């Protein structure tokens, strides 16, 4: 007697028997019902499945609108509901318990539920996605609250719920008050020394970036993982790898996403991919439902809870993960096909203290317009040079938004992401160091979509810079403790790199303004205010700083042979003006809307990612 709908499909020739065996193995490993495995591991399309059920006489009910007696669902655990895809609805007049199930022919489930509820069960068929949506909404409250408040409860010092602590406010307002007082006492001297201090800070932060880039460029000489090592990796030793894909209203990207995931060179039975969708995001849910080819990910619906941020969704997703390792990607990402294997090799090679690996990010639409070109240059030097530079100097690495690979147990130990931080990744990178662990950089690239629209770019960047400010404030609550934990080098590196990045963008327009007023407009009051030597230093620092940044941008083209971009590096001073606008916007939001997540619109590019993928050049040691 068949025990699931899949076996029925096999018996009528709609499904291959060997696939069923594969499904059994995966289901046993993950603890899922067969239909969940079939629908989420790329064995079966939802359309085919629904039409088969209808042919078998099972009409799908709209379970989200069904009347429900909640006392039954309250007896069930969300993890089981999610794994076995059922939802108890209500007791019928004939004494049966009406249960909506994705597989109404699942006899094993029926036996289980009969025993649990001590009454006969009557199944109705419902969409697995609707069941998922319903069970998470009804039973996800505990988990979502954990996702939001767990870090704050376990380690309140590391939570960004409080943006400015009282001592920080005292220091900030004290410094402002002191500065204003000095201005009143001696306006000229105060302005003069402030100018020198700002311009020196600007220059030294850039000098540090150049140093980091040089250190990072040394990493090119030694590949962290080479192709031979990847090929030598025995498939049967590969662990389950979880991939989290937090999305919000990314319905247009779902098809691309599936193709990108399919290109990953990793056994599908070992891939635990979670698409994290917000409760109100029916657009994306329907896009998944309407797919006409098999999906290779599991959908998790994140119940509504403020703050509505990506880290909260990721934390929620953690409760459902099965992997030994975990990676985060965005919906539009195209990771190198061997990225997961490279990470497995590298995790096994590196000492145990390395608990996170960061992949390099780059863009598939780099040549779309000037902005995407500049963005590509920036990402290239950031991920190809600066992050390896930070790693070699043992300085906290702010993780990039995607392509982070974690050891799952260590991630849980760290407390996951801070849902109140809008650059939760950068914050987590620093926390990793604070807890005595390390972040490594893997030589594998993930291609993303570069923001090609200036206002969209400024929104995205303002969130990043605000997040850097938040991260600085969180970790600088107790500077002495931070020094104790990450050492002087880590402390200085953190301040130069993470705090320094926001500071340079805030200072840039001020210094540029002075230079323009003095050198071009030649306003006399500036020369009256500042002696020659102050202006000399300020001019030198600004011009030399800009030149060094152009140089760093230029360096970046070599590794990936993006030679055609080199002249665009000269536009970096203008690009930085956009950064400054974003920085001031971020500062304003930090004060008024610290947890507000500026959504970046994806899918604006007219460049096809698959077309570009063919042209991606694997960065290599030899040009």
Partner 1 sequence: MLLFNTDANTILTLGFTFPSLVFIAGLVFVPLGYLYAPVAASIVMMAALFYQLLEEFKKSAFSWKLYTPLIFLLFTLHPMFVFAAVTGRRNAIVTLVAYLIFRSLFRYYKQPVTYHLSLASIFITCFIFTNYEFIWLVLAFFPFIFLISLEGIKIHQDDSPLFQYFEALNNRSQRRKLANRTASIYLVLFLLPLMAVVIFRGLNTQFAGSSTYFLDSQYANWRITGNRIVRNLISSATRNNFIYQSQIVIQGFILFLTPIFVAALVLFRGKLYELFTILAMLFYYSLMLLDYKFTLTLSYYLLFIPIGLVTICYYGTSKYSIRTASWIFGVATILTIGMGFYFFMHSDNEEEYQFETEMNGILDNWKGPRVLSESEQVANYITSIVSDKNKILVDDASAYGIVVHKGDLNGLILPHQKSFVTIVENPTIAAKYMLVAKKDNVMHNQTVLNAYNLQQMIVTKNLRTLLMYQTPNWAIYQIE
Q: Which residues contribute to the site for partner 1 (CB under 8 A)?
A: 213-214, 217-218, 220-221, 385, 519, 532-533, 535-537, 539-540, 543-544, 547, 550-551, 554-555, 557-559, 561, 563-564, 566-567, 621-623
Give me the half-sphere count of Cα atoms (radius 13 Å) on the Cβ side of residue 21. 3
Question: Could you tell me the smallest distance in angstroms from the CB atom of residue 537 to partner 1?
Answer: 7
Cβ-based nearer residue to partner 1, 403 or 556? 556
Tell me which H or E stretch contains 174.
Answer: helix 166-185
Contacts of 608 (CB under 8 A, 6+ apart): none
Minimum distance from residue 561 beta carbon to partner 1 (Å)? 8
Q: How far is CA 115 from its chain centroid?
A: 42
Burial tier of 168 (Cβ tally within 10 Å: 0-12, 13-18, 19+)? middle
Q: In 10 A of CB 430, how many CB atoms? A: 25
Q: What is the pairing mode between strands 241-247 and 86-91?
A: unpaired
CB of 524 to partner 1, least distance (A): 15
Comparing CB distances to partner 1, the nearer of 173 and 536 is 536
Give me the least distance between CB of 618 and partner 1, in Å please.
Answer: 15
CB of 475 to partner 1, least distance (A): 31
Q: Answer positive or negative: Cα dihedral of 475, 477, 479, 480.
A: negative
Contacts of 557 by beta carbon, 8 Å cutoff, 6+ apart: 377, 380, 563, 565, 566, 569
Report the residue number, 484 or 561, with the smaller CB distance to partner 1. Answer: 561
Q: How far is the CB of 536 from partner 1 (least distance, A)?
A: 5
Nearer to partner 1, 7 or 220 (CB): 220
Q: How far is the CB of 567 from partner 1 (least distance, A)?
A: 7
9 or 534: CB nearest partner 1: 534
Quick one: how far is CA 192 from the chain centroid?
43
CB 343 within 8 A of CB 265: no
Pairwise CA distance, residues 261 & 511, whole Å = 46
Q: How far is the CB of 50 from partner 1 (least distance, A)?
A: 49
Which structure tokens are listed for 131?
A: 């069941």
Residue closer to partner 1, measured from CB, 329 or 518: 518
- Here the tokens at position 336 are 């190198």
CA distance 552 to 491: 23
Q: How far is the CB of 541 from partner 1 (least distance, A)?
A: 11
**Minimum CB distance to partner 1 smaller for 421 or for 572:** 572
Q: Which helix (H) or strand (E) holds 326?
A: strand 325-328
DSSP conformational letter for 308:
-
Query: Which CB sits closer to partner 1, 510 or 548?
Result: 548
Output 185 or 221, the one with its CB closest to partner 1.
221
User: Are the beta carbons of 269 and 26 closer than 8 angstroms?
Assistant: yes
């Amino acid at each position: 007697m068949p025990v699931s709908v899949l076996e029925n499909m096999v018996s009528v020739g709609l499904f291959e028997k060997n696939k069923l065996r594969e499904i059994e193995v995966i289901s046993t490993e993950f603890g899922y019902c067969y239909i969940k495995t079939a629908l989420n591991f790329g064995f079966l399309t939802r359309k085919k499945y629904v039409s088969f059920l209808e042919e078998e006489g099972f009409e799908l009910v709209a379970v989200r609108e069904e009347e429900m007696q909640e006392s039954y669902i309250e007896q069930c655990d969300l993890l089981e509901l999610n794994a076995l895809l059922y939802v108890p609805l209500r007791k019928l007049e004939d004494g049966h318990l009406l249960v909506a199930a994705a597989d109404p022919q699942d006899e094993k489930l029926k036996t289980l539920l009969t025993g649990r509820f001590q009454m006969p069960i009557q199944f109705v068929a419902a969409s697995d996605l609707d069941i998922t949506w319903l069970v998470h909404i009804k039973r996800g409250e505990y988990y979502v609250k954990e996702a939001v408040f767990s870090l704050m409860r376990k380690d309140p010092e590391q939570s960004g719920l409080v943006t400015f602590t009282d001592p920080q406010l005292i220091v900030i307002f004290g410094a402002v008050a002191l500065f204003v007082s000095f201005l009143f006492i001696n306006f000229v001297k105060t302005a003069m020394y402030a100018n020198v201090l700002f311009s020196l800070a600007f220059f030294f932060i850039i000098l540090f970036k150049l140093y980091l880039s040089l250190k990072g460029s040394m990493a090119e000489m030694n590949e962290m993982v080479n192709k031979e090592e990847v090929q030598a990796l025995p498939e049967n030793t590969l662990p389950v790898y979880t991939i989290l894909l937090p999305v919000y209203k990314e319905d247009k990207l779902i098809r691309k996403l599936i193709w990108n995931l399919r290109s990953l060179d990793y056994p599908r039975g070992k891939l635990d991919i979670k698409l994290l969708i917000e409760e109100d995001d029916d657009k994306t849910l329907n896009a998944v439902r309407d797919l006409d080819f098999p999906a290779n990910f599991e959908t998790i619906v994140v119940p509504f809870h403020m703050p509505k941020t990506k880290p909260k969704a990721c934390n929620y997703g953690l409760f459902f993960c099965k992997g030994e390792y975990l990676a985060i990607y965005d919906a539009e990402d195209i990771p190198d096909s061997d990225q997961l294997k490279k990470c497995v090799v590298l995790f096994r090679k590196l000492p145990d203290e390395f608990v996170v690996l960061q992949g390099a990010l780059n863009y598939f639409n780099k040549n779309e317009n000037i902005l995407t070109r500049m963005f590509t240059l920036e990402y290239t030097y950031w991920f190809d040079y600066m992050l390896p530079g930070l790693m070699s100097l043992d300085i906290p690495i702010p993780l990039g938004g995607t392509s982070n690979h974690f050891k799952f147990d260590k991630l849980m130990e760290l407390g996951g992401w801070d849902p109140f931080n809008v650059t939760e990744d950068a914050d987590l990178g620093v926390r990793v160091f604070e807890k005595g662990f390390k972040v490594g950089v893997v030589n594998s690239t993930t291609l993303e979509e570069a923001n090609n629209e200036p206002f969209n770019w400024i929104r995205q960047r303002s969130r990043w810079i605000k997040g850097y400010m938040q991260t600085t404030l969180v970790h600088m609550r107790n500077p002495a403790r931070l020094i104790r934990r990450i050492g002087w080098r880590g402390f200085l590196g953190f301040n130069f790199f993470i705090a320094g990045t926001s500071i340079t963008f805030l200072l840039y327009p001020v210094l540029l303004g002075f230079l323009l007023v003095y050198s071009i407009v030649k306003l006399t009051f500036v020369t009256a205010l500042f002696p020659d030597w102050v202006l000399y230093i300020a001019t030198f620092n600004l011009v030399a700083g800009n030149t060094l940044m152009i140089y760093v941008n230029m360096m970046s083209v070599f590794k990936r042979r993006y030679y055609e971009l080199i002249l665009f590096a000269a536009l970096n001073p203008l690009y930085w003006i956009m950064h400054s606008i974003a920085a001031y916007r971020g500062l304003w939001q930090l004060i008024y809307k610290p947890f507000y997540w500026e959504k970046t619109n994806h899918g604006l590019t007219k460049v096809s990612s698959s077309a570009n993928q063919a042209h991606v050049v694997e960065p290599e040691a030899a040009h």
